[in-house]
Every structure is written in structure tokens, then in C-alpha cells.
Structure 1
Amino acid sequence: MRPQLLSIEVTRLDAGRARLRLTGDLDFDTAPELVDAAVRARADGCHELTIDLGGVGLCDSSGLSAFVVLSQGGAGPVRLTGVGARLQQLLDRTGLAELLAVEQPAVDAVDDVREVG
């Protein structure tokens, strides 16, 4: 199976905040793209970053490392949203769930997913 390329959509939310919406695979080849996009957003004055992972199909150790690099950069908080069950397991097993701000889905959203699935 061919790896899926990563696309990153950056949206400025308000003064000092931006959302990076990822679609594709976050791996050894694409993790540097995430770090670069975050660095550019911060250079543009966005110090609080929300990384929306709802469209990520695969995240390997390089992706996890990119989260750590961004959160330890000292330039402002990083919040992860749209974290799927598999990625949440990786974050839990590695202890990164305690280090990173991971936004849990609302209870209603979880119930809606269960009804559809």
C-alpha cells in the first residue's frame, strides 16, 4: 500500500492562535512538514497551536517526536484534537498523553459516532 502524503491546512483562529488540520500520514517522511508549518505559524505570531489529527491515518514514532518537539519548544502551548483510538493508545503507552494537551471529544460526539458506526 502506498503511503498517503500529508497535507496541512493552517487557519488563524484569532490573535496568537492557529489550527493546523492534518490529513494523511504523519511519519518519518512527513513529520518535518508539521514542524516546519508550526514554526512558520509561530513566526507569524501564532503561539497557541491546535493540531487537528482527525484526518491522520497513520502516526509513527516520528510523528510522536514532532509533537514533543513542538510542545517543548517553549513558544506556547500545543493542543492535540481529533485523536483517534489507535493514536490515543500510542500516546497512553508512551506516557505522552500526560505530557501533551490532548483534547477529548465531547460525550455527545462520541455517542454520535457510535450510532453511525
Structure 2
Amino acid sequence: MPSQMLTIEVDRLDAGAVRVRLAGELDFDTAPELVEAVARLRRDGCQEVELDFGGVVLCDSSGLSALVVIHRSGTGAVRLRNTNPQIRHLL
């Protein structure tokens, strides 16, 4: 069964900070999209990243790996918001 599309919406909070709202499935097929989106934001000067998981229905080990890559590739804080029980258990 194919993955549900991952939707990524970006809200700039202030200088150097951004909120990334996610919806759909964060898995093997979609995790690279998130990594690339955050990398682009960091190249544009956003160091603090808030990832809002309010719309995420599934996160697998590839999604977890993407979070590790995002954390290790930046110098600013990475915060997770609105994680559901499945995601908290995975973390």
C-alpha cells in the first residue's frame, strides 16, 4: 500500500525561527522530503525549528531517522510539538 502524502507547511515565527507543520505519514517514502525542507530553511537562515506533528498519522523508524538527521545537521534547537501517543512511544 503506498504511503499517504506528507504535507509540509512553513510558518516563519521571527528572525531565525520557523514552525514546520506536518500532516500525513512520515515514513521511508516521505522522510527525505522533511529532511530536505528543513535543510532549505536552514540555508535560508532559520536555525530554530519547531516541528508540529499535529497532523501526522504515522511515523516509522525512517521518520525517527529523519529527526536525528535534522537534529545533528543544525546548530539551533529542534522542538517537537503535538506528538500523538504512537510518536511519543517511538521516541
Give the secondary-structure state (helix, strand or coil) at the position aligned to 1:41. Answer: helix
Q: Name the structure 2 match of 1:87.
A: 87
Structure 1 runs of 4+ with >6 Å offset: none
1:70 Cα offset (Å): 0.8
What runs of 5+ residues in structure 2 fail to find an aligned partner?
none
Report the number of matched residues.
91
CA distance in 1, matches of 2:74, 2:57: 28
Equivalent residue letter for 2:78: V
What is the rounded CA distance, in whole Å, between the counterparts of 1:54 and 1:72 in structure 2?
23
* TM-score, L = length of structure 2: 0.94
Give how far 1:55 is off: 0.3
Contact 1:10/1:19 (<8 A) preserved: yes
The alpha-carbon deviation at position 76 of structure 1 amounts to 1.4
Q: Which has the higher helix share?
A: 1
Query: Deviation per CA, 1:15-40, whole angstroms, max 9, x where unpaired?
Result: 00001100000000000000011011
Q: Which has the higher strand share?
A: 2
In structure 2, what is the Cα distance between the partners aligned to 1:51 and 1:74? 14
Alignment identity in percent?
A: 59
Q: Secondary structure at the match of 1:75?
A: coil
TM-score between the two structures when normalised by the length of structure 1: 0.74
Aligned to 2:34: 34
The answer on whether the counterparts of 1:51 and 1:78 sit within 8 Å (CA) in structure 2 is yes
- Report the 3-state secondary structure (helix = DSSP H, G, I; strand = E; otherwise coil) of the residue aligned with 1:24: strand
Q: Superposition RMSD on alpha carbons, in Å?
A: 1.1
Question: Offset at 1:2?
Answer: 4.8
